[in-house]
Amino acid sequence: MSERPQNDDPDPNEAFDELVEAETTRDPDLAVIEAGSRTLRAQAGPPQGDGIPARPADPEVDRALRAVEDELAGRWGETKLDPSVQRIAALLDILGEPQRAYPSIHITGTNGKTSTARMIEALLSAFDLRTGRYTSPHVQSITERISLDAAPISAEQFIETYRDIAPYVEMVDSQQEYRLSFFEVLTAMAYAAFADSPVDVAVVEVGMGGTWDATNVIDGDVAVVTPISLDHTDRLGETPEQIAGEKSGIIKKDATVVLAQQPVDAASVMLKRAVEVDATVAREGMEFGVLSREVAVGGQMLTLRGLGGEYPEIFLPLYGAHQAHNAAVALAAVEAFFGVGSDHARTLDLDTIRSAFAAVSSPGRMEVVRRSPTVVLDAAHNPAGARAAAEAVTEAFGFSRLVGVVGASGDKDVRGFLEAFEPIFAEVVVTRNSSHRAMDPDELAAVAVEVFGAERVQVEPRLDDALEAAITLAEEEGEFSGAGVLVTGSVITVGEARLLMGRG
């Protein structure tokens, strides 16, 4: 660690940027993404390393993994909830409470959870801590959800972990009114894998909500709350205040709460909860935040203010103001974990912080998968995420003409989502992904026509056809026109598009 440098400049608070309210993130789809094998023409370049594993090359391992996937898929799906942690607590009790074997950082919020988790993981790893990360859902492979040392566990370890706990899962199933759900079993697998490793710290993203989420059997030393907006209103509440009430359940006694910029009513709920459990609060825009940001080649250059001082010249290879704010939240969370701001007031080592952020990736978040024309993937799925994505793609790419490919889930605010993109999409190609939750393309088109007008909407029921159509539309302006394609609407849509574009 290094002491905070002396600085005679004005108070950094005066330089704080306006904070966006949300960013893109995953929605809780759980299908194992395996789009067809049709090859798109003129794909650009070989895939780059991004931590997304392919199917196992060994046929026997692949068959065994598929068998585990099938068994998990036969359980309650991720979006079917029973408001109780009784089943997961019973299972972990039998397993010897593996979640107590390591400290943890627990992350909730509506948007930005996975990107923030990846940044926290990168920072902790840079300080030579062994990390475990649990995020959901996956982009392409179910093994992505459980990571050790910043890499998804192998298919073999995933299978072994499942088989190790399977007898105990059956035991709990026989004793409970409802069988353990898909997400509950995966959560237990993650906690067991982290204990077996063992890890120095676990970075855990909630599946949905907070209080009743299966992950909430841990007592996170640091509770992170990313921006809250309206999503899953049928399960979590119809206002930010109600949703915040559910999410505030991850704030435990004596923890440190790292609070991203929030709607006032949501922030009030979080602060009240913190007072009730005697937790310490660090607020974006008050105790920490983004001092400055500039668009740079391949990302952006930031100056962040952490709990211990300033961190200048941080290169973040991700696009959008929302990712800059996620970076500030991640930095504050790691500082809080190390005791910065409470035990001592020093910055963490600047070179280590710089190298960690420079190595961050977040697949499916403003991810470029092809050039000429440029094809960008973004897993935005709610209006707040769409607004952040629209701002980011406009700022980072400046396309002369942008064609959208949208495949959305039927339970989302599709109109609000499309309205966020209407100012920037010249045309939109509506389609569907392979999930049973996918909205019918004709129904989606009917809403799109009301938002965009019939002349700007094209329907292609197959995703591969939709990608071909969008690329063709973008190419109509010529090779050097600066036109692009943005694929969005769901993590499933993005995951399948990645495979079709040669990234799987």
Residue 177 pLDDT greater than 90, yes or no: no
For residue 272, count other CB atoms closer than 10 A to its CB: 12
Residue 454: what pLDDT? 96
Mean pLDDT of 366-386: 92
Residue 401: what pLDDT? 93
Residue 78 pLDDT greater than 60, yes or no: no
Residue 39 pLDDT greater than 80, yes or no: no
In three-state secondary structure terms, 223 is strand
Residue 246 pLDDT greater than 50, yes or no: yes
In three-state secondary structure terms, 280 is strand
Q: pLDDT > 90: what percent of the chain?
A: 69
Q: Binning pLDDT at 50, 70 and 90, where does residue 48 land?
A: very low
Q: Binning pLDDT at 50, 70 and 90, where does residue 15 land?
A: very low
Residue 42: what pLDDT? 29
Residue 111: what pLDDT? 87
Residue 303 pLDDT greater than 50, yes or no: yes
Residue 410 pLDDT greater than 50, yes or no: yes
Residue 80 pLDDT greater than 60, yes or no: no
Rounded-to-integer distance, Cα 179 and Cα 175, Å: 9
Which of 79-93, 111-125, 203-217, 299-313 has the weakest average pLDDT? Answer: 79-93
Rounded-to-integer distance, Cα 64 and Cα 161, Å: 12
Mean pLDDT of 321-327: 96
Residue 21: what pLDDT? 33
Mean pLDDT of 369-385: 91
Residue 372: what pLDDT? 86
Q: Which amino acid is at 137?
A: P
Q: Binning pLDDT at 50, 70 and 90, where does residue 29 land?
A: very low
Average pLDDT, the chain: 86
DSSP percent split of the chain into helix, strand, coil, nearest 5? 40, 15, 45
Mean pLDDT of 346-355: 96
Strongest mean pLDDT among 121-130, 359-368, 412-421, 482-491: 121-130
- 394: tokens are 């406009």
Residue 49 pLDDT greater than 50, yes or no: no
Residue 328: what pLDDT? 98
Position with higher pLDDT, 468 vs 80: 468
Helices (H) and strands (E) in the chain, counts: 15, 17
Rounded-to-integer distance, Cα 98 and Cα 106, Å: 16
Residue 367: what pLDDT? 94
Residue 155: what pLDDT? 96
Cis before 373 (ω within 30): yes
Q: For residue range 414-461, what is the model confidence (pLDDT) as tens digits? A: 999 999 999 999 999 999 998 888 999 999 999 999 999 999 999 999
Residue 233: what pLDDT? 47
Residue 254 pLDDT greater than 90, yes or no: yes
